[in-house]
A and B are shown apart, each in its own frame.
Chain A
């Protein structure tokens, strides 16, 4: 009688143990899956940005520059860009409001903004900058205004996309995390 109880007990523990182990395994697997998923998502987002022409070659260069010494280099540069470009666009806004006919000034500002866009490879924005400068050259204030609105939209779209992208990257985290089971 006692033997039967004891063996039942043992079997019970074994089963529990097996499920426990299975749980661990699955949890770990799902962590890894999460990690993989996130990274996969990030990669596909990145590919999208390139395919849809939001980013160009220069972005690759930035990624190449990232290394152990500056592990968040790309994100830092992009942040810097968006901050500075806001300032430049504010200048242009002001200039359009106050002295709408000062095409030279507008051109100078736009030149600066264009230069900035090339720094991170913001391709669509760069194109729009060129369009704006053409309007400036033709002294077409309407065209300038339209173009500038478009530019602002492009700017905000790109900003959103890149912010999500970097967030995904941060979530995915460094590769080591994926192998550690977390509860």
Chain B
């Protein structure tokens, strides 16, 4: 169809769709390649999952969608699926001979957009562009939901559509929308007025408490929705949020299981954290950098952030600085391709920087993640090494060692305003963790966590939630680690025994472990690529 007509604006879209096909079976690979070419798509084939990941990392924004087999010898298809979702946030379609419901469900759970049964038919392949388009629309809507200034939004839109426009893939509708936004002037509200769910801290808290009430195992979007009783919230919103939340928790659990990792590793990883600071224009990128801030960073960010008004441009520099300083843990989270998961608390007072998942067609996000900031290494090590004084005094405003979790305040008020970060900061500052793990406020932890979640969910559009989400908490790795340790809300009890320093260490090691979980060599490669 499209291939033979002179592409009009709307018809042009699926043509030239850049597909990466991964399958260990050479026969199938050849057939898929031929079929995709017949659909007028641009195909790249790959026989190994690891190679596929490398390709994707290398050419981050050069692909729109990935088709992958489930059973591959070198890496489980589901694992690859997760990696791609986390690192590149590309839509992934699974394929397999085996069409058992449980497998299909597993695929969907891990974030697959679709599941094809082999033998795959041409008509199925012709429709894969829908997933790409849908994701783009979804991401765009998310951005709309944030309170961006017009300029920022424009930038985001530009970045988002850049790839598409270049290839003539923007539809009329998209272009119109784009113009719409560029015409608007300065009013944040107009953007925010678009109907879209923003998972604020409050909302997330409600969500989490609903989940707890129902029981984590029996939870379902409908039940949660009913319990939350929030007008305007749809079951879909809850479902996608729940999915992200689940992924996040499973990540946490994985982190908790691993225990030790040298600081060195972390040091290596740190560099990654601050995403493209220089590139403030791309909000997602910036966001990532900010979000990845480790809890450590948070500490000193707080005081600074407070002074920072929400000014898009100037912020960036400051944020960057702050981030750099902290850089330790969060980067890990980031690194692991948690797309901008770290709650905004970390940073961003300026909204523009916090778009959750920016529809990054150009794959800017991934780039950001793996940027290298060598100078952070030292800082990070220092931080880790010297818990007693907590990070550099200049970095942290919070009182060192003993910090009591002052949950009472503001957990509820966290972050409603634009700068989620602001809120977090506010929330954080009074936040302290008692070394002895006083139980006070543990029940509030979820809310804190919630705030982070909120940020992270917001950012981790594709459900990238990872332990790094927790990180944002400035003050303490301790807090973060506690949160991590908590894993699920059920484990609150753990907090009691958490020693500030220990948790810090643990959290650090958790961070490291996290990295380990995800192919150090690859990460290193990326870092130093």
Contacts and interface: CB of A to CB of B under 8 A. Distances in A.
A114 B30 CA distance: 17
Contact of B27 (A108, A111, A114, A119): A119
Contact of B35 (A65, A116, A118): A65
Given A65-B38, A73-B34, A118-B97, A84 B27 contact: yes
A76 B30 contact: yes
Interface of A is mostly: helix
A76 B26 CA distance: 11
Interface centre among A57, A77, A119 (most CB of B within 10 A): A119
Given A62-B31, A65-B31, A119-B25, A112 B71 contact: yes
Contacts of B121: 61
A70 interface: yes
A115 B34 contact: no
A58 interface: yes
A108 B34 contact: no
Interface size class of A (residues with CB under 8 A): 20 to 34
B25 A115 contact: yes
Contacts, number: 54
Given A62-B31, A80-B26, A84-B26, A115 B118 contact: yes
Interface centre among A80, A108, A114 (most CB of B within 10 A): A80
Given A65-B35, A70-B34, A84-B25, A118 B71 contact: no
Contacts of B38: 65
B164 interface: no
B71 A119 contact: no
Contacts of B304: none
B119 A119 contact: yes
Given A65-B35, A70-B34, A108-B71, A118 B26 contact: no
Contacts of B26: 80, 84
Nearest to B96: A115
Contacts of A81: 27
A120 B35 contact: no
Nearest to B118: A118
Interface in B247-290: none
9 A-B pairs with least C-beta separation: A119-B27, A115-B97, A81-B27, A58-B119, A119-B28, A118-B119, A80-B27, A65-B34, A118-B118
11 contacts: A57-B119, A61-B121, A76-B30, A84-B26, A111-B98, A112-B24, A114-B97, A116-B28, A118-B97, A119-B31, A121-B119
Interface of B: 24-28, 30-31, 34-35, 37-38, 69, 71, 96-98, 118-119, 121-122
